Amino acid sequence: MFAFIARRLGLLIPTFFGVTLLTFALIRMIPGDPVEVMMGERRVDPEMHAQAMERLGLNKPLYAQYFDYIGKLAQGDLGESLRTRTSVWDEFTTLFPATLELSLAALLFAGTLGLIAGVIAALKRGSLFDHGVMGISLAGYSMPIFWWGLLLIMFFSVWLGWTPVSGRIDLLYDIPPVTGFMLIDTLLSDEEGAFVDALRHLILPAIVLGTIPLAVIARMTRSAMLEVLREDYVRTARAKGLSPARVVFVHGLRNALIPVLTVFGLQVGALLAGAVLTETIFSWPGIGKWLIESIGARDYPVVQNGILLIACLVILVNFVVDILYGLANPRIRHQR
Amino acid sequence: MTFTLRASIVLSLALGCAAVQAKPLVVCTEAAPEGFDIVQYTTAVTADAASEALFDRLVRFNPGTTEIEPALAEHWDISPDGLSYTFYLRKGVKFHSTPWFTPSREMNADDVLWSIQRQHDPKPPWHAQSGRGFPYFEAMEFGKLIARIEKLDSHRVRFVLNQPQAPFLADMAMGFTSIYSAEYAEQLFKAGKQELLNSQPVGTGPFVLQRYAKDAQVRYTSHTDYWDGEPASEKLLFAITTDPNVRIQKLRSGACNIALYPRPFDIPALKADDKLKVLELDSLLTAYVALNARHKPLDDVRVRQAINLAFDKQAYLGAQFGAEGASPAIAPYPSTLLGYNSQLEGWPHDPQRARQLLAEAGHANGISLSIWTRPGGGPTNPNPSLGAQMLQADLAAVGIKTDIRVMEWGELIKRAKNGEHDLAFMGWAGDNGDPDNFLTPNLSCAAAQSGENQAGWCDTEFDQLITQARETTELQQRAALYRQALAIFHEQAPWIPQAHPKQFSAISRDVEGFTLSPMGSNNYAKVKRH
């Protein structure tokens, strides 16, 4: 087991360097630089431009900038934003809870609904319901998030007035950040009705962000269930006269869940990628929106380290999932 | 009627009579402020959140115009040589009391000195504290302009300039000359927390910062001791909403009262909505094509005029900015500014006359030129490649062959400065509503020499007129000089003036007191909901 963990950890190092090199290079490939963007339509004089670049340490050759960057990383220094002058780590930790809250809500929505729909579709294979679920999930998977989000806003928020248009909470509530999780912070505050309001704000973005994972989970659950229900031990369970519910949920679903859980793990990356668009539509102050704006402003330290932090997170989740597999399945553990 | 309902009606009537509105004013803004130490920043949203809401300057623009009026300075004297400006400061101006600072004194000359010296004087500790430098102070070349600043007494400050500069007063209304509390700066310095100047600001402005939730909202309360009367709304909230579509949906659903910067293409639908009002104004932006007069055959005024005649401005405006998104440009600056020559008529779209002029200039067989443009769009040029293709087609129709060269904006500026281009799509964003801010940087002979004047056009008569106007402080006289200068510009055609993009805001019908500023800034001191 120890060798297995060490092998997995060893793989993390090149991945980590790959990410730093890639983000460092990609953000610099976009035309324009921070000073140019800062001055916008008011053209910047080349002399002033050179001075400003020097001040930001961007006049050095690229390889020197990269080594500076790696050197600072080694000391745990993520640098500070060129725009706001606050440390990247502080900005990340301020904004990350919003993204995490949204992602968890989306996963909860996708998981619950996806499992239920998948199981029923498998049990009623070939029925209208089955075709309906599979058709809708295919549509959900192919849906452009931007368009889907705006559509839901127009329908539920503007036309029906059921949900708020955007944001995490009505501006009339003044909720001081304690944990950064709005649902928890509203409970901690004395403001009456704030929790319900925060919950209402969470509904549409969670649905939009959860749509693609929902489609994936529903399809995955269906096919895993179909496979498991054909197994001998399920037939045996039925033959023993167990109740249909017990057969489906205890003998069927529990075994079908293994591949579904894999998909859950993989969806973490998908959720963070989806958050970039969802947060922009719903003015959700999380790391997705933060990164988009930082790319627009060519805020190199934020883009490099923001993406690095997210990549670390995805790597970490995958690492944990790998370890869990190893624990669960000795065949993986002993693979060479 | 239930008791609660009755009580709430009585209460709302009572509150309605009060001078200050209890209803918060919610503004959907297009982006998050980068910080609150305004001298470090140039974006409009940061200016609104900091210099307009939190700070004041010695002078200010009369709302909705480019005229200067007193603010923290009650009045001022200008020496006859135009080199020295003495400002008489208003007494009784209070700084914000906040959880992080309680002022012990009112605003005085020390605060003015600190605010400008910090940017002007490279001595530590405050100059280097801004890692971004002072972009506006530097771009306006204030370092070279100001010889020294003197404190004459506690309420009199004198600025001595190195050369006469009539737009100086307009410069002093810009965000980067905001007056900070020197006492607060000292407190931060003693505590070794200078960086807090950017997140816990203290000003004299109409609103006090309550809290900024990053990328989500900015909350202000009114500054009850504000020198210009208590602000009309007790609470001001910025809801940061980057998507223009969502800003409009929020306005429609009542979640915000003002939505800034709707897209020009959405304007007709917004105007048709009777629950909303659309405000529009020409902004201080000019889109133009510089015709490089250093290159043959563009040194011939007939060729430059022919190019102006060949250009179909109306079609260009419609395709680039939508039916209502921009006004056609005739001069280098929009008609809202001082000395605009309203007698000028734009060059008509007349390909036949263009061909005649070219033939007269000896180019009946056509000429070849290059058109330079940038890859990504900006406010003055939303779709650069489309724009360049439209110009190319117009010019082809009169026998001018062109090839389009797309290059990165920074590279384009650098090489245009060297004068390598023939025709270059350019834009200019005015800063202070002064005509000089458009003319000297872009069209003076000095700028032709330095390359900033991409037309490379140097007309001595025009140059004398704008120099004289820059050194004249009497407004009527200045205006007359500019009118003459603009007539020469028109005749000499060093540019194709294309468009002045408009700025828009959509507001709900219950909002009153909101005006757009030609400078593009938004001030909410007098805005309330009824």
Q: What distance in Å separates residue B249's CA from the closest CA in chain A?
A: 7
Q: Which of A39, A171, A278 to mutate to test the interface with B (most CBs of B within 10 A)?
A: A171
Q: Per-residue confidence of chain B (530 residues) as pLDDT tens digits?
A: 344 444 444 444 443 334 445 689 999 998 889 899 999 888 888 999 999 999 999 999 998 888 899 999 999 999 999 899 999 999 999 999 999 999 999 999 999 999 999 999 888 788 877 777 788 888 778 888 999 999 999 999 999 999 998 889 999 999 999 999 999 999 999 999 998 999 999 999 999 999 999 889 999 999 999 999 999 999 999 999 988 888 998 999 888 999 998 888 888 899 999 999 999 988 888 999 999 999 989 999 999 999 999 999 999 999 998 878 899 999 999 998 999 999 999 999 999 999 999 999 999 888 999 999 987 777 788 888 999 999 999 999 999 999 999 987 777 887 888 889 999 999 888 878 899 989 988 999 988 887 888 999 999 999 999 999 988 888 899 999 999 999 999 999 999 999 999 989 999 999 999 999 888 889 999 999 98
CA distances from A8 to A264, A308, A322, A324 (A): 20, 19, 8, 12
Q: Closest residue of B to A178, CA-based?
A: B213
Q: Say if CB A207 and CB A151 are below 8 A apart.
A: no
Residues B45, B46, B52, B54: is their CA dihedral positive or negative? positive
pLDDT, tens digit, 9 for 90 and up, residues A150-197: 899 889 988 888 888 888 988 888 888 889 899 999 999 888 889 999
Asked if the Cβ–Cβ distance from A283 to B239 is below 8 Å, we say yes
- Alpha carbon distance B143, B120 (integer Å): 6
Contact criterion met (CB < 8 Å) for A167 and B285:
no
Residue in chain B nearest A33 by alpha carbon: B410
Q: Out of B138, B139, B195, whose CB is closest to A85?
A: B195
Question: H/E/C letters for each residue in B381-400?
Answer: ECCHHHHHHHHHHHHHCCCE
R_g (Cα) of chain A, nearest Å = 24
Disruptive mutation site among B211, B253, B270, B437 for chain A (greatest number of A CBs within 10 Å): B253
CA B148 vs CA B113, B116, B120, B121: distances in Å: 10, 10, 9, 10
Whether the CB-CB separation of B398 and B305 falls below 8 Å is answered with no
| ipTM for this prediction | 0.79
Instruction: State pLDDT tens for residues B173-225.
Output: 999 999 999 999 999 999 999 989 999 999 999 999 999 998 899 999 999 99
Residues of chain A in contact with residue B408, where contact means CB-CB under 8 angstroms, are 31-32
CB-CB under 8 Å, A280 with B242: yes
Collect all residues of chain B within an 8 Å Cβ-Cβ radius of residue A160: none
- How near does any CA of chain A get to the CA of B428, in Å? 6
Q: What is the pLDDT of residues B73-82, one digit of tens each?
A: 999 999 999 8
Tell me whether residues B417 and A41 touch, CB distance under 8 A. no
Do A290 and B250 count as a contact with CB atoms less than 8 A apart?
no
* Chain A residues within an 8 Å CB radius of B249: 153-154, 157-158, 165-166
Are the Cβ atoms of A95 and B215 closer than 8 angstroms? Answer: yes
Give the separation between CA A293 and CA B40, rounded to whole angstroms: 18
Asked if the Cβ–Cβ distance from A174 to B219 is below 8 Å, we say yes
Chain B, nearest residue to A39 by Cα: B42
Selected residue of A35, A42, A58 to mutate for chain B interface (largest B Cβ count, 10 A): A42
DSSP string, B276-330: EEEEEEE-SEEEEEEE-TTSTTTTSHHHHHHHHHH--HHHHHHHHH-TTSEEEPS
Beta carbon pairs, A and B, within 8 Å: 148
B243 vs A52: CB contact, 8 Å cut-off? no
- Cβ separation of B249 and A39 shorter than 8 Å? no
Tell me the shortest Cα–Cα distance from B384 to chain A, in angstroms: 14
